[in-house]
Amino acid sequence: MATFNERLREAQQRSGSWLCVGLDPLLERLPAAVRREPEPLVAFGRAIVEATADLVCAFKPNLAFWLAEGLPGLAALQAVRAAIPPEVPVVLDAKFGDIGHTAAAYARFAFDQLHVDAITLNPYLGVDGVRPFLEREGKGAFLLARTSNPSAPDLQDRLTDGAPLYQTVARLACQWDADLPGNCGLVVGATYPAELATLRALAPHLPFLIPGIGAQGGSLEAAIADGPTADGLGPLINASRDVLYASAGDDFADAARAAASSLRERIGASP
């Protein structure tokens, strides 16, 4: 069975793209025409997926925005996930981090209920919270190393053994990946270009999921500066709001496609 990294590389080669579109819909930001639909989140999500699926190497739904709408929100996430072509990996952005017994329950939710291909994980609980995900054949797990938000330094820059904590996380991720290879990656915000370069050097074989370009002000140039890994694995450059809300009118899907296409071109990188 292929590792997650192998599946991701195939998706990047097929699409000629390192773009990942984040599926983080806020009801109040949806176009008026969509809001009148009986299931607005489903209508919106499917339209975005159809408009952009051939331009991306992955989709990344963020669990928070679906759960915020309660049961209909979770049902909508399932429906939108089912509309994504099977060859395009889906990364559930949930930042799970729990003790082993509970992490195993989250793995069942992500992989057996939602049928996603990878997830994001918070490393604060150590390997116990990570192993139940890495053990799933062909499924990926991206560990938060350096996040894209302004208060990321509160903990992540604290010096531990002479190096900031986020670097310790990268070193641990390399160890954990060595035990169960081919399924582990790192989340590294585009808003911190220097840290991005440092992490690339520390974890040369791990794929990077890079949020923070666009609305959060991160640099696309920094995100792509290091190119693919030696194994030909490009980063997943995530864009959410810039694609989802490219137009507030009836042309939102065309505008999303145009925005995704332009980002794909600016990334310009086919591995």
Of 9, 11, 20, the residue nearest 264 (C-alpha) = 20
Nearer to a second copy, 15 or 148 (CB): 148
Nearer to a second copy, 150 or 204 (CB): 150
User: 242 CB contacts (<8 Å, ≥6 apart)?
Assistant: 213, 214, 215, 259, 263
Residue ranges binding a second copy (CB under 8 A):
24, 26, 62, 64-65, 67-71, 74-75, 78, 95-100, 102-103, 105-106, 108-109, 112-113, 122-129, 144, 147-156, 158-161, 165, 168-169, 172, 216
**Residue 212 beta carbon to a second copy: minimum distance, rounded to whole angstroms:** 9
**Residue 265 beta carbon to a second copy: minimum distance, rounded to whole angstroms:** 27
**Residue 27 beta carbon to a second copy: minimum distance, rounded to whole angstroms:** 10
**Residue 54 beta carbon to a second copy: minimum distance, rounded to whole angstroms:** 27
CA distance 17 to 202: 24
Nearer to a second copy, 205 or 241 (CB): 241
**Active-site residue numbers?**
95
CA distance 3 to 172: 20
Q: Are 15 and 8 in contact (CB under 8 A)?
A: no
Q: Are 97 and 187 in contact (CB under 8 A)?
A: no
Nearer to a second copy, 103 or 210 (CB): 103
How many CB atoms lie under 10 A from the CB of residue 112? 9
